């Protein structure tokens, strides 16, 4: 061997660049690490948005139940229903209970269902929906209310 020729062992040791196999291996390993983190982040963002929507709907139902309870401490059942109507509620004819009202508030469809137990006691059910079809409630609250009177 003369001084200009290098042995195969010398070529492997003096290699200065990356081969295609090494680059593809590095990309594969990196993607195996990065992709799960991206998936977890996207899942977290989606779940966080859904949780906020459900929390807002629950808050709307709770607020409405509290308003009805406050009406019950001041009014009789008939006058309380008149107050609901003056508060923006409309009669809902598609009701399985004695009386139902609905209104749209902050992009939610709120339905108040009243079932008379033994007057002045009523069972009040508030359901909050995200769409006008009112098929699947996002949140609901129920309370027995004794009306003044």
Please give the domain boundaries of the chain with CATH numbers for all domains: 18-146 (3.30.1300.30)
- Residue 70, SS3? helix
Neighbours of 121 (CB within 10 A): 14
Q: How far is CA 137 from CA 16, 108, 126, in A?
A: 65, 10, 10
pLDDT digits (tens, 9 = 90+) for 57-85: 999 999 999 999 999 999 998 999 899 99
Beta-bridge partners for 35: none
User: Prior bond to 95 cis, omega within 30?
Assistant: no
Are residues 61 and 128 in contact, defined by beta-carbon separation less than 8 angstroms? yes
pLDDT at 6 over 60: no
Q: Check residue 11 and give its pLDDT.
A: 53
Where b means 16+ CB within 10 Å and e means fewer, 22-48 reads eeeeeeeeeeeeeeeeeeeeeeeeeee
Q: Check residue 8 and give its pLDDT.
A: 57
Q: Check residue 102 and give its pLDDT.
A: 93
pLDDT at 1 over 90: no
CA dihedral angle for residue 105, residue 84, residue 88, residue 138, rounded to 10 degrees? 20
Check the CA dihedral 4-6-10-11 and report its sign. Answer: positive
pLDDT at 14 over 80: no
pTM of the predicted model over 0.75: no
């Amino acid at each position: 061997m003369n001084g200009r020729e290098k042995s195969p062992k010398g070529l492997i040791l003096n290699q200065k660049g990356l081969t295609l196999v090494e680059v593809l291996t590095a990309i594969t390993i990196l993607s195996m690490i990065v992709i799960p983190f991206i998936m977890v982040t996207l899942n977290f963002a989606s779940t966080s948005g859904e949780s906020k929507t459900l929390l807002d709907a629950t808050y709307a139902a709770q607020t409405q139940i509290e308003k009805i309870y406050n009406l019950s401490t001041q009014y009789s059942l008939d006058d309380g229903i008149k107050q609901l109507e003056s508060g923006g509620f409309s009669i809902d004819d598609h009701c399985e209970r004695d009386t139902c009202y609905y209104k749209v508030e902050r992009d939610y469809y709120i339905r108040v269902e009243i079932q008379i137990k033994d007057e002045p006691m009523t069972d009040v059910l508030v359901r909050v929906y995200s769409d006008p079809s009112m098929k699947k409630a996002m949140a609901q609250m129920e309370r027995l209310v004794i009306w003044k009177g």
